[in-house]
Amino acid sequence: MSDTLAAERPAYHYAVIARALAEIDAGGPSLSLDELAGRMGLSPAHFQRIFSQWVGVSPKRYQQYLTLDHARRLLAERFTLLDTSLATGLSGPGRLHDLFLRWEAMSPGDFARAGEGLTIRWVSVPSPFGEALVMATDRGICGLAFCEETGRTAAMADLMARWPRAQYVEDEATVAPLAAQAFSGGETRLHLIGAPFQIKVWEALLRIPSGHVTTYSEIASAVGHPRAVRAVGTAVGRNPVSFLIPCHRALRKSGGLGGYHWGLPVKRAMLAWEAARADAIA
C-alpha cells in the first residue's frame, strides 16, 4: 500500500499505530525509526508524521515512556491525591483526559437481574491499543474490552458473563459511531452496570486526570473504606469500560503496575500514551 493511500484511510492508521506500539514495546529504545517504519511498510517521514499526529510525540520520544521504570516515575511525579484532585482543578466532573463523558449507573435492582430484558449491541473495532470490543445499551457504552492479550473470543465471553441474561446483537451501524467518538475525544455517553461499591470505585477512577496515577489504597480511602484495598482492586478489575474509566491509572504503592484485566502490556502502553500526550500539550 502506498503512503498516499495510507494517508487517506483513518482506519488503516489505527492498525498501523497499534502494530507500531507493539513493535516499540517489544523492541525498546534500540529500534530505529527506519527499522520501525520498514516494519510498518511506510517511509520513515510518513510514518513519523502519522505516529506524531496520533500519539502526540515522535516514535523516539514515545519509546522513552515505555521503559520499565516509567510507572515508578509517574507515581513519584504525577501522583494524584483523590480527595483533593477536584479542589486543585486537576479534574472535573464528567471530564476524562480530552474526552467528555456523560454517564449514569444502572439501578441496584436492574444490576441484580443480570441484564435480563436488556439489549446490548456490540462491534469489534481497531483502537490505539489493538482490537477492541465495544458494547452499548440505548443509554450509552456499557462495555469496552481490549483483545490483544486475551483474544477476541475470551474478551467477548468475559463481557457477556457480566450480564448473562442480556440479549446480545452485533450492530456495527449503531455502535461503531459511539466507539469512534470515544477514541477520538468526542462526547461519550456511558451506561455503568455494576454493584453500588463498584460504582463508587469507578467514580473515583474518573477523578484521576490523564497522565497522572494514583494507588489502590488512595482509591480505598476516597470511597470511605481505607482498609478495603483488596476489594477495591477487585472492583477496579471489574471495570467494564476500560480506558474510558481509567483503571490503568491505578498502581501499587511501590510503583509496580499491579494487575490489569486486559494484560499488563496494554496497561503499560496506555500509561505511556497518556503521559506522552500530556507532555506534548504542556
Summarised one tens digit per residue, pLDDT across range 129-177 is 888 999 999 989 999 999 988 899 999 999 999 899 999 999 999 999 9
pLDDT-derived band of residue 53, with 50, 70 and 90 as boundaries? confident
| Residue 248 scores a pLDDT above 80 | yes
Residues 85 and 221 in one domain: yes
CATH number at residue 243: 1.10.10.10
Mean pLDDT of 53-62: 75
Residues 35 and 154 in one domain: no
Cα Rg for the chain, rounded, in angstroms? 19
Residues 139 and 187 in one domain: yes
Residues 168 and 260 in one domain: yes
* Bigger pLDDT: 73 vs 275: 275
CA dist., res. 265 & res. 39, Å (int): 20
Q: How many domains does the structure of the chain reveal?
A: 2
Residues 201 and 107 in one domain: yes
Q: Of the candidates 193, 191, 218, which has an alpha carbon nearest to the alpha carbon of residue 207?
A: 218
| Residue 110 scores a pLDDT above 60 | yes
Looking at residue 7, what is its pLDDT? 37
Phi-psi group of 140: left, alpha or beta (phi > 0 → left; psi -120 to 50 → alpha; rest → beta): left
Query: What is the pTM (predicted TM-score) of this model?
Result: 0.71
Question: What are the C-alpha distances in Å from 265 to residues 22, 144, 269?
Answer: 9, 17, 6
Last residue of a domain, one of 66, 90, 108: 66
Last residue of a domain, one of 23, 38, 66: 66
Cβ neighbours for 100, distance < 8 A, ≥ 6 positions apart: 94, 186, 187, 188
Residues 62 and 145 in one domain: no
Residues 62 and 104 in one domain: no
Q: Which of 247, 250, 251, 272 is the catalytic position?
A: 247
As given in the structure block, the three cell numbers for residue 82 are 483523590
Let me know if 247 is a catalytic residue.
Answer: yes
Residues 103 and 60 in one domain: no
Looking at residue 105, what is its pLDDT? 67
Q: Largest Cα–Cα distance in the chain?
A: 57
| Residue 50 scores a pLDDT above 70 | yes
Last residue of a domain, one of 25, 46, 66: 66
| Alpha helical stretches, state H, the chain | 3-7, 10-27, 33-40, 44-55, 59-65, 70-77, 82-85, 108-112, 152-162, 172-184, 196-205, 216-222, 229-237, 264-281
Residues 88 and 203 in one domain: yes
Looking at residue 166, what is its pLDDT? 93
Residue 25 belongs to what domain range? Answer: 3-66
Q: What is the pLDDT of residues 117-135, one digit of tens each?
A: 889 999 999 887 888 999 9
CATH number at residue 58: 1.10.10
For 170, the enclosing helix (H) or strand (E) is strand 167-170
Q: What is the pLDDT of residues 87-99, one digit of tens each?
A: 434 344 333 333 4
Residues 24 and 128 in one domain: no
Residues 47 and 91 in one domain: no
Residues 229 and 251 in one domain: yes
CA dihedral for 81, 245, 161, 262, sign (positive or negative): negative
| Residue 83 scores a pLDDT above 90 | no
